[in-house]
Each structure stands twice: as C-alpha cells, then as structure tokens.
Amino acid sequence: MKILISFITALMFTAMPVNSYAKTKKLKGPEVVEIADISISLSGLVCDFCSIALNKTFRKKDEVKGTYIDLDTKVMSVALIPEAALSNEEVMELVKKAGYSTLKITRKDGTEFSPPKT
Amino acid sequence: MRIIAIFFTGIFLVSPLAHARPVSYPGGWTLILTNDVIQNSALAHYTLDTQHSLGLRIRHDREGDFIFTGAQLNRLVKRWNTADSQANLYARIGVGAVSDNLDTSEMREDRGTDIGFFLDTSADWETRRYFTSATAQYWNNGRFGEISNFQGRLGVAPYIANTGSIHTWLMVEGRYRPQNRNEVSAAILLRFFKGPALFEIGVDDAGEPLLNYTHRF
C-alpha cells in the first residue's frame, strides 16, 4: 500500500511542474484573441475540460505562442510565433487528437476553410 | 487500514471528488476520487492516445470491507461531436488484487487476498445546459463476491458559464445495486467546475454524503 501511495504522490508532483512550465511559456488568456493568427470553430465543445484538452494539445507545438478558447462562441484562437505556420491539415489533426471536430478555420488574412463533412 | 483511512480522509479534506471522462487528451494525467456510502475510490490515469487511458485504481468497498488495487484500462469507444453537444460511449476493464480490509481491532479471521476484475460501460450526452449519463458495472471480487451496479444521472446548469468561470450543475442520480442492502437509491448533488478541477457534493436518500473530485493535469 505504501508503494501505491508513493506512486500516486510522485505522479502528482511530477505532473505539476511540467504543467506550471507550460503555463509560463505560452499565452493563455483572452488577449490571444486580439493577436490570433488562426481562429477555429469547433464542435463538441461543452465544458472547461474540453478547453483544457485543446489548449494543452496545441500548446505542445513549438509553433504556437498561445491559445484561448471562448466557450460561448465555440472558437479557439491560436497565436503563432513569428514566421511559424500551421497548415489546415495540421490544425484539424490537432483538434482531432484532442477529441473534437473542426467546423471552420479562419486565418488572419480573412481566408476561410471548411473541412468536408464526413 | 490506518494508512488507507488517512489517505481517503486527506482526499476528502484536500479536495472534493468526481465523475469525469475517463479518457483525456494524449499525454494528460487525471485524478478521479469517488466517495459515497458504498465505496471510497481513487483512480489516477494517463491518457495514451485519443481513445485509451491506463491507470491505477484503488477501491475500498465499504459494505464488503475489502480493497481492490489494480490496473484499469479505459477506452473511448465512440464520440459524437455536434455544434452544441457531445456524446460518448466508454468501456473499462480492470484487473487486480482484492484483499481483506481487516482492522487489528476486529475479532474475525483474515479473509486473505484474491484476484479480482471488473467490467464497466458508460454513456453520456451533454450540452452546456443539460447532462445525462448511464453506467453499468460488474465486479468479480473473487472470494469477496460479485457486485453489479447500474446508475444514471440527469443534470441541468442553472446558468451558462464561459471559459474559466465557475460552472454549476444541479444533478440527480439513481442507482440500482442488487447485492447491496439498499438495492435502489437516489442522490441529489451539486457539481462545481472550474478550469481543471471538478467537485461534486451531494446526499443520498439515506442521508449519506457523496463527495467526488476530478483534476486534469
């Protein structure tokens, strides 16, 4: 039993520093909306756990400077570091990896992409 | 026994407990604590990919007074995403050791340890306003006996909260546990949800408390 308790405690303490590091490294507030390079309309977004899954998945990418999700509009804003790019396919793959679906991708220059309905 | 009691007491005091989706995002850790009249349970799991998570489960059956300790594999069988809702179908399997929770003050023989396993399937559907779920479980605890559990939930959010705000849900839960003293029971609960933390507090129809906590790392 001591081993199990030690395992769970160690698990929690090892996960937390990684989390904290990620938080300080990337932008995560609503200010991201103002500087967003990509806006993604999503389906299946119903709670904060959904937001966490998407934010963490995107923020692992080196190209991503910050993300923010508005549950009311169901739009995820993604800011990229200078000179970086994420293709529509990469965006859809990241959304799918987090467990959600892409309805529309809108770029800063106004171009839009809607994936074909499956 | 004392260590287990301290562990679960700590869980109660430090955090509330929870029901949450058993598969998170790839690379994510989740801690799920569940406490009610029949059990104290802790599950820490790591999400392997979009459809699977693997975790360690410790469950104290309060009626049978035994402890299950083992590995649990969760599978997201299917997810349905729509613009305003999400629905999920999950399957779980766990295998581990079931041991007597004999206290030194108890005047009875130690029932020893056996191998146990469980199977579980659940489905949920939710919008930002409404929530419903259903779960069926079968536990084979070796010499400690079998347990079946069926439960369902209905919930409504009195207001719609945006990202980062406190989300509140009012929920009712119905349970059918054929092997338990009270086969049929019901509970009402409040769910509070903010960022990575989900806390539930409630009471069942016998006046027994219910506390759950989930944290996503």
One-letter amino acid for residue B129 of the chain:
R
- B82 contact residues in A (CB cutoff 8 A): 43-44
**Residue closest to A85 by CA, chosen among A64, A57, A115:** A64
Q: Residues of chain B with pLDDT > 90: what percent?
A: 69
Q: Which of A76-80, B28-32, B107-111, B173-177 has the lowest mean pLDDT?
A: B107-111
In tens digits, what is the pLDDT along chain A, a chain of 118 residues? 556 556 555 655 555 444 444 444 788 888 888 899 999 999 999 988 888 899 999 999 999 999 999 999 999 999 999 999 999 999 999 999 999 999 999 999 989 999 987 6
What gap in Å lies between CA B120 and CA B148, rounded to an integer? Answer: 10
Beta bridge partners of B89: B78, B123
For residue A30, give how far its alpha carbon lies from the nearest alpha carbon of chain B (Å).
10
Query: Residue B107's pLDDT band (boundaries 50, 70, 90)?
Result: confident
Q: Please report the pLDDT score of residue B25 as a whole number.
A: 87
Contact (CB<8Å) A47/B24:
no
For residue A9, give the chain B residue with the closest CA.
B44
For residue B22, give the chain A residue with the closest CA.
A49
- Give per-residue pLDDT as tens, B124-174: 999 999 999 999 999 999 999 999 999 999 999 999 999 889 999 999 999
* Between B16 and A47, residue with greater pLDDT: A47
**Whole-number average pLDDT of chain B:** 88
For residue A5, give how far its alpha carbon lies from the nearest alpha carbon of chain B (Å).
8
Cβ-Cβ contacts under 8 Å for A105 (sequence gap 6 or more): A38, A39, A40, A41, A88, A91, A92, A112, A113, A114
- Whether residue A9 lies within 8 A of chain B, CB to CB, comes out as no
- Whether residue A10 lies within 8 A of chain B, CB to CB, comes out as no
| CB nearest to B25's CB, from A1, A16, A99 | A99
SS3 annotation, A38-72: EEEEEECCCCHHHHHHHHHHHHCCCCEEEEEEECC
pLDDT over 80 (residue B206): yes
Contact (CB<8Å) A43/B28:
no
- Give per-residue pLDDT as tens, B30-79: 999 999 888 999 999 999 999 999 999 999 999 889 999 999 999 999 99
- A8 in helix, strand or coil? helix
Query: Residue B103's pLDDT band (boundaries 50, 70, 90)?
Result: confident
- Whether residue A11 lies within 8 A of chain B, CB to CB, comes out as yes
Q: Please report the pLDDT score of residue A29 as a whole number.
A: 83
Q: Please report the pLDDT score of residue A7 as a whole number.
A: 58
